[in-house]
Protein backbone atom coordinates (compact mmCIF):
# COMPACT_ATOMS: atom_id res chain seq x y z
CA UNK A 1 0.00 0.00 0.00
CA UNK A 2 1.19 3.56 -0.77
CA UNK A 3 2.96 5.34 2.08
CA UNK A 4 2.09 9.00 2.46
CA UNK A 5 5.06 11.07 3.61
CA UNK A 6 5.06 14.77 4.43
CA UNK A 7 8.40 16.59 4.78
CA UNK A 8 8.70 20.18 6.04
CA UNK A 9 11.59 22.27 4.71
CA UNK A 10 11.87 19.84 1.81
CA UNK A 11 13.14 22.23 -0.84
CA UNK A 12 16.81 22.21 0.15
CA UNK A 13 19.57 20.62 2.22
CA UNK A 14 18.80 17.60 4.36
CA UNK A 15 15.03 17.65 3.64
CA UNK A 16 15.56 17.52 -0.13
CA UNK A 17 18.25 14.82 0.21
CA UNK A 18 15.83 12.72 2.28
CA UNK A 19 13.15 13.02 -0.45
CA UNK A 20 15.69 11.94 -3.07
CA UNK A 21 16.72 8.94 -0.95
CA UNK A 22 13.12 7.90 -0.26
CA UNK A 23 12.30 7.99 -3.97
CA UNK A 24 15.48 6.12 -4.88
CA UNK A 25 14.44 3.18 -2.74
CA UNK A 26 10.75 3.15 -3.80
CA UNK A 27 9.24 5.37 -6.46
CA UNK A 28 5.95 3.51 -6.89
CA UNK A 29 4.80 2.96 -3.31
CA UNK A 30 5.29 6.49 -2.09
CA UNK A 31 3.26 9.69 -2.08
CA UNK A 32 5.58 12.54 -1.14
CA UNK A 33 4.27 15.91 0.01
CA UNK A 34 6.86 18.71 0.13
CA UNK A 35 5.74 21.32 2.66
CA UNK A 36 7.64 24.54 1.94
CA UNK A 37 7.24 28.24 2.59
CA UNK A 38 8.43 29.39 -0.82
CA UNK A 39 6.55 27.86 -3.76
CA UNK A 40 9.14 28.85 -6.34
CA UNK A 41 11.85 26.97 -4.45
CA UNK A 42 9.39 24.13 -3.81
CA UNK A 43 8.61 23.87 -7.52
CA UNK A 44 12.34 23.74 -8.34
CA UNK A 45 12.82 20.92 -5.80
CA UNK A 46 9.88 19.00 -7.26
CA UNK A 47 11.30 19.37 -10.79
CA UNK A 48 14.70 18.12 -9.59
CA UNK A 49 13.11 15.07 -7.95
CA UNK A 50 10.97 14.32 -11.00
CA UNK A 51 13.98 14.64 -13.29
CA UNK A 52 15.52 11.57 -11.64
CA UNK A 53 12.20 9.83 -10.79
CA UNK A 54 9.75 10.77 -13.61
CA UNK A 55 6.91 8.51 -12.37
CA UNK A 56 7.08 9.61 -8.73
CA UNK A 57 4.08 11.16 -6.97
CA UNK A 58 5.39 14.44 -5.58
CA UNK A 59 2.89 17.04 -4.33
CA UNK A 60 3.56 20.53 -2.99
CA UNK A 61 2.04 22.22 0.04
CA UNK A 62 2.54 25.87 0.93
CA UNK A 63 3.35 26.18 4.63
CA UNK A 64 5.34 28.68 6.65
CA UNK A 65 6.00 26.99 9.99
CA UNK A 66 6.58 30.37 11.65
CA UNK A 67 3.00 31.50 10.91
CA UNK A 68 0.03 30.14 12.87
CA UNK A 69 -2.50 30.91 10.11
CA UNK A 70 -0.29 29.33 7.44
CA UNK A 71 0.12 26.11 9.44
CA UNK A 72 -3.62 25.87 10.14
CA UNK A 73 -4.47 26.46 6.46
CA UNK A 74 -1.86 23.89 5.36
CA UNK A 75 -3.21 21.28 7.80
CA UNK A 76 -6.74 21.88 6.46
CA UNK A 77 -5.44 21.28 2.94
CA UNK A 78 -3.67 18.06 4.02
CA UNK A 79 -6.91 16.73 5.57
CA UNK A 80 -8.74 17.41 2.30
CA UNK A 81 -6.06 15.68 0.21
CA UNK A 82 -5.19 12.62 2.33
CA UNK A 83 -7.15 10.24 4.54
CA UNK A 84 -3.96 9.29 6.40
CA UNK A 85 -0.31 10.29 6.80
CA UNK A 86 2.22 7.54 7.51
CA UNK A 87 5.26 9.75 8.16
CA UNK A 88 5.70 13.41 9.01
CA UNK A 89 9.28 14.69 8.94
CA UNK A 90 9.50 17.85 11.07
CA UNK A 91 12.63 19.14 9.40
CA UNK A 92 12.24 22.87 8.60
CA UNK A 93 14.59 24.93 10.72
CA UNK A 94 16.49 28.19 10.95
CA UNK A 95 19.48 29.66 12.74
CA UNK A 96 19.05 33.40 12.04
CA UNK A 97 21.81 35.99 12.38
CA UNK A 98 24.39 33.59 13.75
CA UNK A 99 27.38 35.05 15.55
CA UNK A 100 30.54 32.96 15.39
CA UNK A 101 32.77 33.54 18.42
CA UNK A 102 36.26 33.44 16.87
CA UNK A 103 38.07 33.79 20.24
CA UNK A 104 36.08 30.93 21.80
CA UNK A 105 36.78 28.86 18.68
CA UNK A 106 40.55 29.30 18.98
CA UNK A 107 40.43 28.68 22.76
CA UNK A 108 38.46 25.48 21.99
CA UNK A 109 41.07 24.37 19.44
CA UNK A 110 43.68 24.16 22.22
CA UNK A 111 41.46 22.57 24.87
CA UNK A 112 40.25 19.09 25.76
CA UNK A 113 36.83 20.33 24.56
CA UNK A 114 37.91 20.35 20.89
CA UNK A 115 36.00 17.28 19.68
CA UNK A 116 32.78 18.34 21.46
CA UNK A 117 33.16 21.81 19.95
CA UNK A 118 33.34 20.41 16.41
CA UNK A 119 30.62 17.81 17.00
CA UNK A 120 28.06 20.12 18.60
CA UNK A 121 29.14 23.71 17.95
CA UNK A 122 28.95 24.21 21.73
CA UNK A 123 30.33 27.47 23.08
CA UNK A 124 31.07 29.12 19.71
CA UNK A 125 27.64 30.09 18.34
CA UNK A 126 24.96 32.55 19.40
CA UNK A 127 22.08 34.05 17.42
CA UNK A 128 20.01 37.24 17.27
CA UNK A 129 16.37 36.15 17.21
CA UNK A 130 13.42 38.06 15.74
CA UNK A 131 9.69 38.20 16.48
CA UNK A 132 7.04 36.84 14.08
CA UNK A 133 3.83 38.62 13.01
CA UNK A 134 2.05 36.43 15.61
CA UNK A 135 4.30 37.88 18.33
CA UNK A 136 6.30 34.68 18.88
CA UNK A 137 10.08 34.34 18.95
CA UNK A 138 11.05 33.44 15.37
CA UNK A 139 13.30 30.45 16.08
CA UNK A 140 10.86 28.94 18.57
CA UNK A 141 7.94 29.48 16.15
CA UNK A 142 9.74 28.07 13.10
CA UNK A 143 11.65 25.14 14.57
CA UNK A 144 9.19 24.01 17.23
CA UNK A 145 5.81 25.66 17.71
CA UNK A 146 4.65 25.58 14.08
CA UNK A 147 5.48 21.87 13.95
CA UNK A 148 3.66 21.23 17.24
CA UNK A 149 0.58 23.03 15.91
CA UNK A 150 0.78 21.02 12.69
CA UNK A 151 0.79 17.73 14.61
CA UNK A 152 -2.21 18.79 16.71
CA UNK A 153 -4.13 19.90 13.61
CA UNK A 154 -3.28 16.66 11.78
CA UNK A 155 -4.41 14.35 14.59
CA UNK A 156 -7.31 12.90 12.56
CA UNK A 157 -5.00 11.71 9.76
CA UNK A 158 -2.15 10.66 12.08
CA UNK A 159 -4.10 8.68 14.68
CA UNK A 160 -5.92 5.99 12.71
CA UNK A 161 -7.45 2.83 14.17
CA UNK A 162 -5.26 -0.23 13.51
CA UNK A 163 -2.36 1.73 11.90
CA UNK A 164 0.83 3.36 13.09
CA UNK A 165 2.30 6.69 12.00
CA UNK A 166 5.70 8.25 12.69
CA UNK A 167 6.78 11.78 13.55
CA UNK A 168 10.50 12.30 12.90
CA UNK A 169 12.18 15.50 14.11
CA UNK A 170 15.44 16.87 12.72
CA UNK A 171 16.93 17.88 16.03
CA UNK A 172 20.61 18.54 16.70
CA UNK A 173 23.55 17.66 18.91
CA UNK A 174 23.56 21.43 19.52
CA UNK A 175 20.44 20.88 21.72
CA UNK A 176 21.78 21.75 25.17
CA UNK A 177 19.96 21.56 28.48
CA UNK A 178 21.79 24.72 29.56
CA UNK A 179 20.15 26.73 26.74
CA UNK A 180 16.60 25.75 27.73
CA UNK A 181 14.55 27.32 30.48
CA UNK A 182 11.02 26.17 31.36
CA UNK A 183 10.26 29.78 32.49
CA UNK A 184 11.27 31.10 29.05
CA UNK A 185 10.43 28.35 26.56
CA UNK A 186 10.59 30.77 23.62
CA UNK A 187 14.10 31.82 24.66
CA UNK A 188 13.26 35.55 24.66
CA UNK A 189 16.01 36.37 27.11
CA UNK A 190 19.00 34.33 25.94
CA UNK A 191 21.34 34.25 22.95
CA UNK A 192 21.02 30.56 22.07
CA UNK A 193 17.48 30.25 20.66
CA UNK A 194 18.57 27.53 18.19
CA UNK A 195 19.95 25.27 20.89
CA UNK A 196 16.91 25.96 23.08
CA UNK A 197 14.46 25.13 20.26
CA UNK A 198 16.24 21.84 19.52
CA UNK A 199 16.32 20.86 23.20
CA UNK A 200 12.62 21.71 23.37
CA UNK A 201 11.92 19.46 20.37
CA UNK A 202 13.69 16.57 22.14
CA UNK A 203 11.47 17.13 25.20
CA UNK A 204 8.37 17.51 23.07
CA UNK A 205 9.08 14.26 21.26
CA UNK A 206 9.16 12.44 24.62
CA UNK A 207 5.87 14.06 25.64
CA UNK A 208 4.25 13.19 22.29
CA UNK A 209 5.18 9.53 22.80
CA UNK A 210 3.61 9.54 26.26
CA UNK A 211 0.45 11.14 24.91
CA UNK A 212 0.02 9.46 21.53
CA UNK A 213 1.62 5.98 21.52
CA UNK A 214 -1.63 4.35 22.58
CA UNK A 215 -3.24 5.94 19.49
CA UNK A 216 -0.56 4.45 17.21
CA UNK A 217 1.46 7.66 16.77
CA UNK A 218 5.21 7.51 17.54
CA UNK A 219 7.82 10.27 17.66
CA UNK A 220 11.63 10.13 17.25
CA UNK A 221 14.44 12.66 17.09
CA UNK A 222 17.65 12.59 15.04
CA UNK A 223 20.80 14.63 14.60
CA UNK A 224 22.10 14.75 11.00
CA UNK A 225 25.61 15.72 12.13
CA UNK A 226 27.44 18.72 10.67
CA UNK A 227 26.18 19.07 7.09
CA UNK A 228 27.11 21.69 4.49
CA UNK A 229 23.75 23.35 3.71
CA UNK A 230 22.29 26.87 3.39
CA UNK A 231 21.98 26.86 7.18
CA UNK A 232 25.70 26.26 7.73
CA UNK A 233 26.84 28.56 4.91
CA UNK A 234 24.87 31.27 6.77
CA UNK A 235 27.06 30.84 9.86
CA UNK A 236 30.02 32.54 8.18
CA UNK A 237 28.14 34.71 5.63
CA UNK A 238 31.23 36.70 4.71
CA UNK A 239 32.99 33.51 3.53
CA UNK A 240 32.90 33.30 -0.27
CA UNK A 241 32.14 29.86 -1.79
CA UNK A 242 35.78 29.23 -2.69
CA UNK A 243 36.84 29.58 0.99
CA UNK A 244 34.34 26.91 2.00
CA UNK A 245 35.78 24.73 -0.76
CA UNK A 246 39.29 25.39 0.59
CA UNK A 247 38.10 24.35 4.07
CA UNK A 248 36.78 21.00 2.85
CA UNK A 249 40.13 19.14 3.19
CA UNK A 250 40.28 20.39 6.81
CA UNK A 251 36.75 19.08 7.42
CA UNK A 252 37.67 15.71 5.88
CA UNK A 253 40.64 15.62 8.26
CA UNK A 254 38.44 16.45 11.27
CA UNK A 255 36.08 13.65 10.17
CA UNK A 256 38.89 11.21 11.02
CA UNK A 257 38.32 12.22 14.67
CA UNK A 258 34.55 12.80 14.81
CA UNK A 259 32.22 10.81 12.60
CA UNK A 260 29.49 13.43 13.18
CA UNK A 261 31.01 15.37 10.23
CA UNK A 262 28.56 13.87 7.73
CA UNK A 263 29.10 16.95 5.51
CA UNK A 264 26.86 15.97 2.55
CA UNK A 265 23.05 16.29 2.78
CA UNK A 266 22.86 12.67 1.49
CA UNK A 267 24.88 11.35 4.46
CA UNK A 268 23.19 13.79 6.86
CA UNK A 269 19.80 12.34 5.89
CA UNK A 270 20.93 8.81 6.89
CA UNK A 271 19.18 8.68 10.28
CA UNK A 272 15.97 10.14 8.80
CA UNK A 273 16.04 7.50 6.06
CA UNK A 274 16.91 4.70 8.50
CA UNK A 275 13.93 5.57 10.70
CA UNK A 276 11.65 5.27 7.66
CA UNK A 277 12.50 1.56 7.55
CA UNK A 278 12.08 0.85 11.28
CA UNK A 279 9.02 -0.44 13.09
CA UNK A 280 8.11 2.52 15.34
CA UNK A 281 7.16 0.23 18.25
CA UNK A 282 10.75 -1.09 18.30
CA UNK A 283 12.35 2.35 18.73
CA UNK A 284 13.59 3.81 22.01
CA UNK A 285 11.51 6.96 22.73
CA UNK A 286 14.42 8.40 24.76
CA UNK A 287 17.03 7.94 22.02
CA UNK A 288 18.43 10.52 19.62
CA UNK A 289 19.49 8.75 16.44
CA UNK A 290 22.66 10.12 14.83
CA UNK A 291 23.70 10.11 11.19
CA UNK A 292 27.37 9.15 11.17
CA UNK A 293 30.06 9.03 8.52
CA UNK A 294 33.38 7.20 8.59
CA UNK A 295 36.73 8.94 8.14
CA UNK A 296 36.58 7.96 4.46
CA UNK A 297 33.14 9.46 3.97
CA UNK A 298 31.13 6.21 4.02
CA UNK A 299 27.77 6.46 5.75
CA UNK A 300 27.56 4.38 8.91
CA UNK A 301 24.49 2.85 10.55
CA UNK A 302 22.85 5.44 12.79
CA UNK A 303 23.45 5.01 16.51
CA UNK A 304 21.26 6.12 19.37
N1 LIG B 1 23.16 21.59 8.53
C2 LIG B 1 23.51 21.10 9.72
O3 LIG B 1 24.72 20.92 10.03
C4 LIG B 1 22.45 20.73 10.69
C5 LIG B 1 21.11 20.96 10.44
N6 LIG B 1 20.16 20.58 11.36
C7 LIG B 1 18.74 20.79 11.11
O8 LIG B 1 18.39 20.25 9.86
C9 LIG B 1 17.19 20.87 9.39
C10 LIG B 1 17.34 21.17 7.93
O11 LIG B 1 18.33 22.18 7.78
P12 LIG B 1 19.42 22.18 6.63
O13 LIG B 1 19.03 21.22 5.57
O14 LIG B 1 20.73 22.09 7.26
O15 LIG B 1 19.32 23.69 6.11
P16 LIG B 1 18.56 24.35 4.86
O17 LIG B 1 18.58 25.80 5.16
O18 LIG B 1 19.10 23.85 3.61
O19 LIG B 1 17.08 23.78 5.01
C20 LIG B 1 16.16 24.33 5.88
C21 LIG B 1 14.78 24.16 5.26
O22 LIG B 1 13.81 24.67 6.19
C23 LIG B 1 12.99 25.56 5.46
N24 LIG B 1 12.40 26.59 6.32
C25 LIG B 1 13.04 27.52 7.06
N26 LIG B 1 12.14 28.30 7.66
C27 LIG B 1 10.92 27.86 7.30
C28 LIG B 1 9.61 28.25 7.59
N29 LIG B 1 9.34 29.31 8.36
N30 LIG B 1 8.57 27.56 7.05
C31 LIG B 1 8.83 26.52 6.25
N32 LIG B 1 10.04 26.09 5.91
C33 LIG B 1 11.08 26.77 6.45
C34 LIG B 1 13.90 26.19 4.42
O35 LIG B 1 13.15 26.81 3.41
P36 LIG B 1 13.78 28.02 2.53
O37 LIG B 1 14.59 27.40 1.46
O38 LIG B 1 12.57 28.73 2.06
O39 LIG B 1 14.62 28.85 3.47
C40 LIG B 1 14.64 24.94 3.97
O41 LIG B 1 13.85 24.21 3.08
C42 LIG B 1 16.98 22.09 10.29
O43 LIG B 1 15.98 21.80 11.24
C44 LIG B 1 18.31 22.25 10.99
O45 LIG B 1 18.20 22.86 12.25
C46 LIG B 1 20.51 19.95 12.53
C47 LIG B 1 21.81 19.71 12.81
C48 LIG B 1 22.89 20.07 11.92
C1 LIG C 1 38.45 27.38 10.16
C2 LIG C 1 37.14 27.81 10.70
C3 LIG C 1 36.64 29.06 10.16
C4 LIG C 1 36.15 26.65 10.63
C5 LIG C 1 34.84 26.97 11.29
C6 LIG C 1 34.00 25.75 11.40
C7 LIG C 1 32.63 26.04 12.03
C8 LIG C 1 31.93 27.10 11.22
C9 LIG C 1 31.87 24.72 12.12
C10 LIG C 1 32.62 23.68 12.95
C11 LIG C 1 31.59 22.79 13.59
C12 LIG C 1 30.28 23.23 12.95
C13 LIG C 1 28.97 22.83 13.51
C14 LIG C 1 28.85 21.78 14.36
C15 LIG C 1 27.56 21.28 14.84
C16 LIG C 1 26.34 21.74 14.03
C17 LIG C 1 25.06 21.46 14.80
C18 LIG C 1 24.85 19.97 14.96
C19 LIG C 1 23.87 22.15 14.25
O20 LIG C 1 22.73 21.78 14.53
C21 LIG C 1 23.96 23.38 13.45
C22 LIG C 1 25.29 23.63 12.80
C23 LIG C 1 26.46 23.22 13.70
C24 LIG C 1 26.47 24.08 14.95
C25 LIG C 1 27.77 23.43 12.87
C26 LIG C 1 27.97 24.89 12.52
C27 LIG C 1 29.31 25.21 11.89
C28 LIG C 1 30.48 24.74 12.79
C29 LIG C 1 30.47 25.49 14.10
Cβ atoms of residues 39 and 11 within 8 Å: no
Average pLDDT rounded to a whole number, residues 2-7: 96
The pLDDT value given to residue 297: 76
Cβ atoms of residues 225 and 291 within 8 Å: yes
pLDDT in tens, 129-187: 999 999 999 999 999 999 999 999 999 999 999 999 999 999 999 999 999 999 999 99
pLDDT in tens, 214-250: 999 999 999 999 999 999 999 988 888 888 889 999 9
pLDDT in tens, 43-55: 999 999 999 999 9
pLDDT in tens, 71-107: 999 999 999 999 999 999 999 999 999 999 999 999 9
Residue 28 lies in a domain: yes
Q: Is 173 in the pocket of ligand 1 (CB under 6 A)?
A: no
Query: Phi-psi region for residue 303, left (φ > 0), alpha (ψ -120 to 50) or beta?
Result: beta
The domain containing residue 200 runs over which residues? 3-96+131-231+262-303
What separation in Å is there between the alpha carbon of 35 and the centre of ligand 1? 12
Max alpha carbon distance in the chain (Å)?
Answer: 56
**In the chain, how many domains are there?**
1
Q: Nearest C-alpha to atom 13 of ligand 2 is from which residue?
A: 121
Is the whole-model pTM more than 0.95?
Answer: yes
Residues shown for the chain: 304
What separation in Å is there between the alpha carbon of 128 and the centre of ligand 1? 17
Residue 242 lies in a domain: no
Q: Nearest C-alpha to atom 12 of ligand 1 is from which residue?
A: 13
What separation in Å is there between the alpha carbon of 226 and the centre of ligand 2? 6
Nearest to 8 by CA among 51, 45, 47: 45
Q: Nearest C-alpha to atom 6 of ligand 1 is from which residue?
A: 172
Q: For a pLDDT cut of 70, what percent of the chain falls above it? A: 100
Residue 126 lies in a domain: no
Question: Buried (b) or exposed (e) across 24-43, using 16+ Cβ within 10 A?
Answer: eeebeebbbbbbbbeeeebe
For residue 73, what is the domain's CATH number?
3.40.50.720
Cβ atoms of residues 61 and 31 within 8 Å: no
Residue 121 lies in a domain: no
Residue 102 lies in a domain: no
Residue 167 lies in a domain: yes
ipTM for the whole predicted complex goes beyond 0.90:
yes
Amino acid sequence: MNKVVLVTGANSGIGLALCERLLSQDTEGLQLCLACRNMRRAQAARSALLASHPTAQVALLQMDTSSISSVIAAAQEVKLRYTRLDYVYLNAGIMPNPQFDVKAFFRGLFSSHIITMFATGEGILTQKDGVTADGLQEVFATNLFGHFLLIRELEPVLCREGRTSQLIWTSSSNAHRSAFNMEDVQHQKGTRPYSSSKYASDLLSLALNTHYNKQGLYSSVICPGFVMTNLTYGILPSFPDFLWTLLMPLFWLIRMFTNTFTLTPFNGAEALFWLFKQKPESLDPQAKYHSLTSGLGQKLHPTA
